Chain A
Amino acid sequence: MDRPIRVVVAKPGLDGHDRGAKVVARALRDAGMEVIYTGLRQTPEQIVETAIQEDADCVAMSILSGAHNHLFPKVVNLLKEKGADDVLVVGGGVIPEDDIPGLVEAGVAGIFTPGTPTSVTIDFIKDNIKRK
């Protein structure tokens, strides 16, 4: 594939901690991807609209507030409603082990918790985007 992968990096919900999201954004950039950075406090609707207008291959979200069980699946479902279910959804942040199976079940393809090397996230996105 010779086109750059396009990834929306978003911070859904109300927590203001975007250090992790910025680290990931920078790592994806250095891996040759085009990162559309949305900034803080995005609603699921805003994230989905952004993914559509930007024709993103992937939405990568970071949550440190504990609202992941609510917000991650909501983004997956809204993408489906809009017919954009060819967008890969991944999440990161402070997410308890016990919550991960449920999120994967809900359609969040990958969950990356603190300490994950950025190369793992990069490889996962490269291997799993749905459009070639």
Chain B
Amino acid sequence: MNIKAGLMKKDKRAAARLISMMENGEAEAVQIIKECYSMTGHARIIGITGPPGAGKSTVTDKLAKELRKTGKQVGIVAVDPTSPFTGGAILGDRVRMTDLSCDPGVFIRSMGTRGALGGLSKAVHGAVKILDIFGMDYIFVETVGVGQSEIDIVKLADTVIMVMVPGLGDDIQAIKAGIMEIGDIFAVNKSDRDGAERTVAEIEAMLDFNRSDEYRPPVLNIIAIDNSGITELLELIEKHWEYQNKSGSCEQKKTNRLRTEIMDIFRDTVMRTVYNLSDDTNIIDVLVQKVMARQLDPYSAADRLMEEFIKKPTA
């Protein structure tokens, strides 16, 4: 199968295979994305995050269906946790998106975190680019169920929707640092349950502390399973997009995002080079033994590793 030609012809198999190659760290996949990078930048990237069981997959499913009514092409990347013990994973987000499986204008990909801790997987950036090249108008990135500090989604999404549910904690939870700071829109799902109004009030109170008076993230009650509030949520996504374009914050966000991405890729390259170096020379093991015997301290060991790294001609 010629992957690049397939991708150009909008062959879903080619796109799917390319995403796997990215996940498995194959150099050929990176090469294809390099060649096609000029075709990216079309899609709007929407992050869906929130605690486990909040309804992220259901919200994604309903938003995608709404967009399909207007003929938009929709990509979905859904991340679930990989077991740190076995490397296995149950990727179950598709269970809520069954009706979208056979829609030719939709592509859904499930991914395991494979050791990443920020709520996404390392290959998500690549997968989003691939779906962008594929021609998707909207790409939803659904994070793993998050706790308090998995905020990698801000490095990727144009708009982040924080899906909350009633009854998870009090107002102290809402003013803690971390995920509560990254929502561009707050959707309180399962709003037919007790405590929904209180949850909204707590989020609103938290937002009252925000310094920026330019944009205040809206808080919306929804019941995703009944499709209640979904069109309103979509309108809020559009409003946020308009605001970003008008205020210039979109440019700023994109610049910051690219800077982070380049540095992340660079850091990965450095780490890979160092590990390859160690495969050849065993240098890490040697240094560990020396520190163990107190002949060397860990700081000097790291300096030595850096010296070896600099000496190495770039591969």
Contacts and interface: CB of A to CB of B under 8 A. Distances in A.
Interface of A: 2-4, 6, 25-26, 28-39, 41-43, 45-46, 49-50, 52-55, 82-84
Given A35-B88, A39-B95, 19 more contacts: A3-B23, A4-B88, A6-B20, A26-B90, A30-B88, A31-B88, A34-B88, A34-B110, A35-B89, A36-B91, A36-B94, A37-B95, A39-B92, A41-B98, A46-B102, A49-B101, A53-B101, A53-B107, A53-B109
Interface residues of B, number: 28
Interface stretch (B11-19, B33-41, B165-173, B175-183): B11-19
Given A46-B98, A53-B108, A53-B109, A37 B90 contact: yes
Nearest to B107: A53
Contact of A29 (B83, B102, B109): B83
Contact of B102 (A30, A49, A55): A49
Given A38-B94, A42-B98, A46-B102, A52 B86 contact: no
Contacts of B147: none
B135 interface: no
A50 B82 CA distance: 20
B24 interface: yes
Nearest to A46: B101
A55 B86 contact: no
Nearest to A35: B90
A29 to B, nearest CB: 4
Contacts of A54: 16, 91, 109-110
Contacts of A30: 83, 86, 88
